[in-house]
Chain A
Amino acid sequence: MDKVMRMSTEKGVVIFTKSSCCLCYAVQILFRDLRVQPTIHEIDNDPDVREIEKALIRLGCANAVPAVFVSGKLVGSTNEVMSLHLSGSLVPLIKPYQSFPN
């Protein structure tokens, strides 16, 4: 879907969330811990929320949210993010977008 395509290809880490979704919040915390400032699209207040949900599900995110895109490519939902991180493959993906440690 166009809107999803447009939003997901924004630079950096893009996460589609819902305000009521606590797993989405957990994923955001993880990226914050990794010193990344993701772009958050909270879809529940979007007029096209149903369309966006359907598009995300079609792309492979079973619950639609959270849906994580890095550098315009879909990484996946919570499962995929966790697997990638534990295998050490997440940090290389987001390295360009990490802010310097304080």
Chain B
Amino acid sequence: MNSTSTHFVPPRRVGIYEPLHQIGMWGETFKSNNIGNGNMNTPSHIIIPNNQKVDNNLSEDTSHGTAGTPHMFDQEASTSRNPDKIQRRLAQNREAARKSRLRKKAYVQQLETSRLKLIQLEQELDRARQQGFYVGNGIDTNSLGFSETMNPGIAAFEMEYGHWVEEQDRQICELRTVLHGHVSDVELRLLVETAMKHYFELFRMKSSAAKADVFFVMSGMWKTSAERFFLWIGGFRPSDLLKVLLPHFDIMTDQQIFDVCNLRQSCEQAEDALSQGMGKLQHTLADCVAAGHLGEGNYIPQVNSAMERLEALVSFVNQADHLRHETLQQMHRILTTRQAARGLLALGEYFQRLRALSSSWATRHREPT
């Protein structure tokens, strides 16, 4: 927006020309705004024709040799000689002032539109965050909140993950529909296989992302806030998975119950082992970074050793995903096709609900009370 002060001429010098200059002010402001804001739906039709109208009046006056000419020293002489001219001049002033007010109103309206658009954009960004897209909040982000140092491997992962969630939702919908009606075992088995492969695909994607930026995967920033609450080494806890699935298997054979119990115990033991390994990693890294003499600033005495430990994080994330993979695989082995289908539906809906919960939580202050 151009500063309007540059166009403003002090009243004393302008006299009767003040309204004309004001029109010029608004007109030019609108012109420059129109050029810059192609997206903004500016009411561009308002200003320009009026300018021309005013100019017509001017030229009309000039041609009749009246006081509308731009000769200031003539001004008082000509109006005092002709009272009609005074009336005309006053009318023109009123008209010009009216137009000026109209322009101001239009300009303010344009500002309001822009403001609403801004709010809309902010809401979209928030929605994107809730749906799990990584929108940086840290100091390396620009004013819009996107990380300026975005890793291409991570950017690719985020995009792929967006598609993954869409496909996941579609599969859950299909499972839900199919389980409510009659479905052949063959068709159900196909759906179960597809759902399993879909999860395995996610682990493959995460493995690539971990190589690109392991801290990103560890942070769970690509997930929604409620999902992140349950984060364990870059994803869900395998034992949590079992807790979600189990209530949905009404009839289980003794062998199945036995197998599931064992799986649950092994899962928890494996998780515990990995958690303790992570704990040791944190301790040794902390020792590494904290070592050395006081006053050495940012110098890390054993920086190579510290870097090696950070590399080990990638292995841990891969191991955690491997655990998730194996847990799903074992459940598939233990359960019948129909049980597996119900289990996968339960799991899918559980994550959907967590995502929905995140959205509700994020917008809770915005709901009108």
Using CB atoms and an 8 Å cutoff, list the residues of chain A in contact with chain B: 20-23, 25-27, 29-30, 33-34, 63, 78-79, 82-83, 85-88, 90
Residues of A contacting B: mostly: helix
B278: A residues at CB distance < 8 A = 22, 26
Check B322–A29 contact: CB distance below 8 A.
no
Tell me the B266-298 residues at the A interface (CB within 8 Å).
Answer: 266-267, 269-270, 272-274, 276-278, 280-281, 284
Complex Cα distance A68/B145, Å? 47
The answer to whether B312 and A82 touch across the interface, beta carbons within 8 angstroms, is: no
Complex formed: what's the CA distance from A21 to B284 in Å? 10
The one of B284, B327, B330 in contact with A22, judged by C-beta atoms closer than 8 angstroms, is: B284
A25 adjacent to B280 (CB under 8 Å): yes
B38 CB to closest chain A CB, in angstroms?
A: 56
Complex interface bits, B252-277 against A, C-beta within 8 A gives 1, otherwise 0: 00000001001100110110111011
Closest CB in chain A relative to B315 CB, distance in Å = 6
Q: Are A34 and B269 in contact (CB under 8 A)?
A: yes
B277 engages A20 (CB within 8 Å): no
**Chain B residues with CB below 8 A from A33, complex form:** 269, 272-273
B308 interface residue (CB < 8 Å to A):
yes
Of A20, A22, A25, A30, the residue contacting B270 (CB under 8 A) is A30
**A23 vs B157: C-alpha distance in the bound complex, in angstroms?**
26
Q: Which residue of A lies closest to B323 (CB)?
A: A82
> Can you list 9 contacts pairing A with B, beta carbon distance less than 8 Å?
A20-B308, A20-B309, A22-B312, A22-B316, A25-B277, A27-B273, A82-B270, A83-B326, A88-B259
Q: How far is the CA of A35 from the CA of B207 in the complex (A)?
A: 32
B336: Cβ under 8 A from any A Cβ:
no
Evaluate contact between A85 and B277: CB separation under 8 angstroms. Answer: no
- Contacts A30-B270, A86-B327; A23 near B262 (Cβ below 8 A): no
A85 to B322, CA, bound (A): 12
Whole-angstrom distance between the alpha carbons of A22 and B280 in the complex? 6
Q: Report the bound CA distance from A22 to B267 in whole Å.
A: 19
Q: Is B56's beta carbon under 8 Å from chain A?
A: no
| Nearest CB on A from B106, distance (A) | 66
User: Which of B269, B281, B319 lies in contact with A85, CB distance below 8 A?
Assistant: B269
Q: CA of A79 to CA of B315 in the docked complex: distance in angstroms?
A: 10
* A70–B273 CA distance with the chains assembled, in angstroms: 19
Interfacial chain B residues near A83, Cβ < 8 Å: 322, 326
Q: Which interface residue of B273, B284, B312, B330 has the most chain A CB atoms within 10 A? A: B273
Q: Is the CB of B319 within 8 A of A23?
A: yes
7 smallest CB-CB distances across A and B, nearest first, come from A26-B277, A30-B273, A22-B281, A29-B273, A86-B326, A26-B273, A22-B277
A64 to B175, CA, bound (A): 43
**B44 near A: Cβ within 8 Å?**
no
Q: Across the interface, which residues of A come within 8 angstroms of B281, CB to CB?
A: 22
User: Across the interface, which residues of A come within 8 angstroms of B323, CB to CB?
Assistant: 82, 86
* A29–B326 touching, CB < 8 Å: no
Judge whether B137 is part of the interface by a CB distance below 8 angstroms: no
Determine the residue in chain A with the shortest Cβ distance to B308: A20
User: Chain B, 299-335, contact with A by CB distance < 8 Å: what is the 0/1 string?
Assistant: 0000001001100100110010011001101100100
Do A87 and B269 contact each other (CB < 8 Å), given the known contacts A22-B312, A23-B316? no
How many whole Å from B333's CB to the nearest CB in chain A? 8
Closest residue to B320 on the A side, CB-wise?
A82
Taking A25-B276, A27-B273 as known contacts, 6 extra A-B pairs with beta carbons closer than 8 A to each other, sorted by chain A number, are A25-B277, A34-B269, A79-B322, A82-B270, A86-B267, A90-B266
- In the complex the two chains form, what is the Cα distance from A86 to B326 in whole Å? 7
- Is A29 a contact of B272 with CB atoms below 8 Å? yes
Chain A hits for B312, CB < 8 A: 21-23
Of chain B, the residue at the smallest CB distance from A87 is B330
Are A26 and B327 within 8 A (Cβ)? no
